[in-house]
């Protein structure tokens, strides 16, 4: 099965999701999103595919969140997506895409919901 993980190796949820995929014989395409941030268009597509708002993808505990004033309701969805594309540390992780869906896998075990019958 084809899978993509937007991964941060320093994140335990991200490492766990990756390990669960590999335990099931799935070697995903790994995108180190801090090194290779998704474009605004790609990020908007991921948000839409997950069925969440851009605000739900933000990491509010990051110092840049406060520095940029992202807790202010004035920010539009498009502006929030642009900020995450510009500052990928603001993105929550891991995001996993499979043919069965796209999901923010926090905790990492949520990746199992994206596997087909017999793989979870």
Omega within 30 of 0 (cis) for the link into 94: yes
Sequence-separated (6 or more) residues with CB below 8 Å from residue 68: 83, 87
Asked whether the beta carbons of 15 and 93 are under 8 A apart, the reply is no
Q: Which two tokens stand for residue 106?
A: 């926090």
C-alpha to C-alpha distance for 61 and 111, rounded to whole angstroms? 23
Query: Is there a catalytic annotation at residue 105?
Result: no
- Of the candidates 1, 4, 5, 11, the residue annotated as catalytic is 11
Can you tell me the distance from the alpha carbon of 75 to that of 81, in angstroms, rounded to the nearest whole number?
Answer: 10
Show which residues are catalytic.
11
């Amino acid at each position: 099965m084809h899978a993509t993980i937007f991964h941060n190796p320093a994140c335990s949820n991200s490492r766990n999701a990756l390990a669960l995929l590999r335990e099931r014989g799935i070697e995903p395409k790994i995108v180190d999103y801090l090194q290779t941030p998704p474009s605004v268009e790609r990020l908007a597509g991921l948000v839409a595919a997950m069925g969440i708002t851009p605000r739900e993808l933000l990491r509010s505990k990051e110092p840049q969140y406060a520095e940029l004033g992202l807790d202010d309701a004035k920010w539009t969805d498009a502006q929030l997506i642009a900020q995450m594309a510009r500052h990928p540390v603001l993105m929550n992780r891991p995001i996993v895409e499979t043919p069965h869906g796209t999901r923010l896998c926090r905790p990492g075990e949520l990746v199992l919901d994206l596997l087909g019958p017999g793989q979870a």
